[in-house]
Amino acid sequence: MAPTQTAVQKVSLPVRDSLAVRAVRAAEIAAAHADQVDANSRFPQEALDALRQEKLLGIMVPEQLGGEQASFADVVDVCYTLGRACSSTGMIYAMHQVKAACITHHGMDSQWHRDFMVRMVDDQLLLASSTTEGKGGGNVRSSEAPVEHIDGRIHLVRDASVISYGAQADAVVTTARRAADADASDQVLVVFEKQNYALEKTIGWDTLGMRGTCSTGFNLKAMGSPKQILPGAYAPIHAQTMVPASHLMWSGNWAGIAAGAVDRAKKFMRKAQRAGSLPPGVPHFTRALANLRALRALIAATLKRYETLAGDPQALSGVDFQTAINLLKVDASELAVETVLNAMRATGLSGYRNDTDVSIGRALRDVLSSPIMINNDRILASLESATLLSDIPASVRD
């Protein structure tokens, strides 16, 4: 859904290198610290500093507000580049841009959110997401905590079981019930700046992979102005922007992780070739390359479908597109895992070890998070009715 046009004076943008060039520079910094970030389960501060230096955090903001009005495809490419270097950095960037997409696509009719977008660019603000809550877990379309209106202010107390990089973010974008007497699915999306909230740590983050995302649990206590609530209900934001942005941008990062693993497997193969003989894992390397091509093609095709429908809210919210975008998440995550596993089998013990220049252990641990983020089983169960009613295509081009 394209940002609403408003009568805001267009500003002159500084001349910058392309997004691709800037992303590569940031990725080089991320790669230099990736092993340390993983080993110490710490936030990739150096990578964030590089992203800010390259002005990559506010790229989705419309040009008239000082941004670059980057498309989803632009962002997915940056996620791919970053994921290839440091999985945690790529996922942090993807999650940040999902929230940026919600604000830029649905906040243009609100002066508060337009002003906030200007600061997203000027101050390179990092946005965290709070959609996982209490007993509801990963059910994003259900909120326990309500927004309460008291003396002209809004208040929210939320058991946020996960807020990735919450302690490092400049703002939290959170779902909530519209009011205390509203149904759990009657939600709004609210932007709270750092000065608006307090975080009390409830759960740590000691995980197999994606350790640098610092996805700690918090008790979130926030207060602000009613103007900070995005206009309209959350349901259309969820269908038209949150879901496609999440699944496309996350998939871009997972594809980047897979590409990084294939890079290392290729390096291993070339070393063996120079030594005079190819190792027995060559067939697995061929499978890894084929899987990576299929993964990239799947993401590209879904991006094209999204861009075709971007101006049609009804089509974006329709069963066909919602089924396709949710299945992208399932298929991309499983393909990414398969790609990394094949890359590891191609390298044998050298890739299995943690102390070689072709080690694939970190990539494998990180990519194993992909089927768990909004669990694939949950997604497939929610699509049962839609898939049973869908037609089987009559040809390969339908």
Count CB-CB contacts under 10 A for residue 231. 16
Q: Do 239 and 197 sit in the same domain of this protein?
A: no
Q: Which of 107, 126, 145 is the last residue of a domain?
A: 126
Q: Would you say residue 13 has pLDDT above 70?
A: no
- Answer yes or no: are the C-beta atoms of 106 and 232 closer than 8 Å: yes
Rounded to 5 degrees, φ, ψ at 177 are -65, 145
Tokens of 130: 């709070």
Rounded to 5 degrees, φ, ψ at 141 are -90, 25
Q: Is residue 397 part of a domain?
A: no
Q: CA 336, CA 252: separation in Å to the nearest integer?
A: 10
* Structural domain count of the chain: 3
Q: Give alpha helix (H) positions in 211-281.
A: 234-237, 243-274
- Mean pLDDT value of segment 13-20: 81
Q: CA 280, CA 361: separation in Å to the nearest integer?
A: 20
Roughly how many angstroms between the first and final C-alpha of the chain, as a whole number? 24
Q: Do 185 and 68 sit in the same domain of this protein?
A: no
- Answer yes or no: are the C-beta atoms of 161 and 137 closer than 8 Å: yes
Q: Which of 228, 247, 282 is the last residue of a domain?
A: 228
Q: What's the pLDDT tens digit per position in 62-101?
A: 999 999 999 999 999 999 999 999 999 999 999 999 999 9
Check residue 80 and give its pLDDT.
Answer: 98
Q: Do 284 and 382 sit in the same domain of this protein?
A: yes
Could you tell me the pTM of the whole model? Answer: 0.94
Q: How confident is the model at residue 23 (pLDDT cuts 50, 70, 90)?
A: very high
Range of the domain at 28: 19-126
- Mean pLDDT value of segment 291-298: 98
Q: What percent of the chain has pLDDT over 70?
A: 95
Q: Do 75 and 139 sit in the same domain of this protein?
A: no
Q: Do 272 and 371 sit in the same domain of this protein?
A: yes
Q: Do 331 and 290 sit in the same domain of this protein?
A: yes
Between 7 and 23, whose confidence is greater? 23
Q: Do 35 and 179 sit in the same domain of this protein?
A: no
Q: Which of 228, 247, 272 is the last residue of a domain?
A: 228
Q: Is residue 272 part of a domain?
A: yes
Tokens of 382: 């929610």
For residue 32, give the CATH number of its domain.
1.10.540.10
Q: What's the pLDDT tens digit per position in 171-204?
A: 999 999 999 999 999 999 999 999 999 999 999 9
Pairing of strands 187-193, 148-150: unpaired
For residue 194, give the CATH number of its domain.
2.40.110.10
Count CB-CB contacts under 10 A for residue 174. 27
Q: Do 141 and 55 sit in the same domain of this protein?
A: no
Q: Do 384 and 283 sit in the same domain of this protein?
A: yes
Residue 14, CA atoms < 13 Å, CB-side half-sphere: 7
Q: Do 82 and 214 sit in the same domain of this protein?
A: no
Q: What percent of the chain has pLDDT over 90?
A: 90
Q: Is residue 27 part of a domain?
A: yes
Q: What is the DSSP code (8-state) at residue 39?
A: H
Q: How confident is the model at residue 288 (pLDDT cuts 50, 70, 90)?
A: very high
Tell me which amino acid residue 257 is.
I
Q: Do 312 and 192 sit in the same domain of this protein?
A: no
Q: Do 308 and 199 sit in the same domain of this protein?
A: no
